[in-house]
Structure 1
């Protein structure tokens, strides 16, 4: 720059050099400030981590409500630069699940385990199977079969069991959408039932019904070809009758679930 040259090479004062060249002293003395966008980046990343489904304008207004002074142009520039304007696939967040030891009940109707299985008909259409087990005597209480088993259907099965068996103090379930629905949670609260969720990816925290599911898979689903839901239901009822009344269980001292139940009554 000529002003700098005159000052360094000819010993002219900065003021005189700027006047001679008609350069404002403020322009000559200006020192560029390095940009520090980290506060904006951190604020955006924290916001999106907490609310992964919101877009740019929601992010901008939330930042303004928190007192940040950045205008929407600056926020959007950074929002785009770090890739937040690309549609994000986010996982549904679940409430924190604590490790649950496999509780050993001391009587019937203390703990029921509930779980789903899936298979398909010969046509290729998938169906689901809802299994409900009393953990104490390993009795299979219900095997509900249909193409879809939403939370309302789960409640209907539980209401039927309430009439013929009573209800448990605790139900152990996984994190399936049927079990985390508000409808089922509200129903359990009304009935005074505690719902215990296993940790995601830890099926053995629901070990009793998982062990039973293995037998269902091997002896029922993998051993038969089904053409209709009616066939599945018929075979499931036959399997459940045999499992509860005829099969001796090593864990029960080689008694059947019904044998143990009759001893208690």
Structure 2
């Protein structure tokens, strides 16, 4: 750390110096921030960093860890308490995490053993096989995590993708992503696609993240007559289309930038989504961009086909 700081102060770029000394950028900025925080905190405690490290020194967001905990609690591991869940997080995801933090994360999303005895107000519906023949039949929803190196914090991108035309119908990007953000984004998407005028609304498919198993989200789906289905734990192939979008976003956008602040991250991601929807060629859509394909289907310029999910 001291050697890296010395070179960076002499005018060398942080990325080049860290690559030479063999320190990841996330761990360098985290330790630098944490070192100053220890000097500032006077009450004996320290601020919650918002992430944990894995064996590769990569920062994993607390929300991502809570999503993994939700998947574990939805499977055969539902009988485990926070201590055994800690063991699974270390084994399956290589996290460097202690049981006290797992207890706190479980408590925040009501996954501690006493809460599991309460009957769920909205029983989980498992995602089933479907044959999609038109837009607005099935929307996949998921969250992608990005990292702002200059501010040492994560930002969140919630996207709603139409499985048939592959468009990002609407999205939320911010420094937090809660159930209320999810419901607001879905409402905008329904208005944008004029779905409130239709007899049957799109089916919503999500994973088991804390935003999607909350009472707020369950109440919203029930009051709006929306069918919500959740994929089984550890089956991202059931959400393959939005996972593919997130893979393209990571490959073509996120890894190409080291964001200095949230505003820079916000503008970069928004520009990419605009490119993806309006100009990026999609092989599955006859080499059209998603918005072009969607408009062509409305005008019946393209023969319909079946998407099996």
- In structure 2, the residue matched to 1:30 is none
Does the alignment pair 1:224 with 2:252? no
* Maintained 8 Å contact 1:143/1:237: no
d(CA) in 2 for partners of 1:202, 1:91:
27
Q: Any stretches of 5+ residues in structure 2 without a counterpart?
A: 1-77, 83-111, 196-200, 299-309
**Residues 1:153 and 1:96: Cα distance change in structure 2 (over 3 Å):** closer
How many residues are paired up? 181
Which runs of structure 1 show a deviation greater than 4 angstroms over 4 or more consecutive aligned residues?
A: 49-53, 89-99
1:130 has 2:130 as partner: no
Q: Please state whether the residue corresponding to 1:263 is helix, strand or coil.
A: helix
Q: Structure 1: how far apart are the matches of 2:296 and 2:174?
A: 34
RMSD over aligned Cα atoms = 2.6
Q: Which residue of 2 aligns with 1:186?
A: 219
With normalisation by structure 2, the TM-score equals 0.53
Distance 1:99 1:188 in 2: 16
CA distance in 2, matches of 1:50, 1:242: 45
Q: Secondary structure at the match of 1:132?
A: strand
Decide whether the 8 Å contact of 2:127 with 2:205 is kept in 1: no
**Which structure would you say has the larger Rg?**
1
Q: Structure 1's 124 and 262: CA in aligned 2 closer, same or farther, altered over 3 A?
A: same
- CA distance change for structure 1 residues 145 and 98 in 2, over 3 Å: closer, same or farther? closer
Gaps of 5+ in 1: 1-48, 54-88
Q: Which position in structure 2 is the counterpart of 1:110?
A: 137
Contact 1:109 1:166 in 2 (8 A): no
Separation in 2, partners of 1:180, 1:249? 32
Q: How does 1:242-253 map to 2 (within 5 A)?
A: 242-253=275-286
1:238, CA displacement in angstroms? 1.0
2:242 corresponds in structure 1 to: 209
Alignment of 1:73-88 (within 5 A): none
The answer on whether the counterparts of 2:124 and 2:230 sit within 8 Å (CA) in structure 1 is no
Query: Residue 240 of structure 1: which of 270, 273, 282 is its match?
Result: 273
Task: Return the TM-score normalized by structure 1.
Answer: 0.62
Q: Offset of 1:90 from its aligned partner?
A: 4.8
Asked which structure has the greater RCO (Cα within 8 Å, sep 6+), the reply is 2
Distance 2:170 2:260 in 1: 22
- Note if contact 2:146-2:154 (Cα within 8 Å) is conserved in structure 1: yes
Post-superposition CA distance 1:66-102 (Å, at most 9, x none): xxxxxxxxxxxxxxxxxxxxxxx7597596664633x
The whole-number CA distance in structure 1 between the counterparts of 2:219 and 2:125 is 19
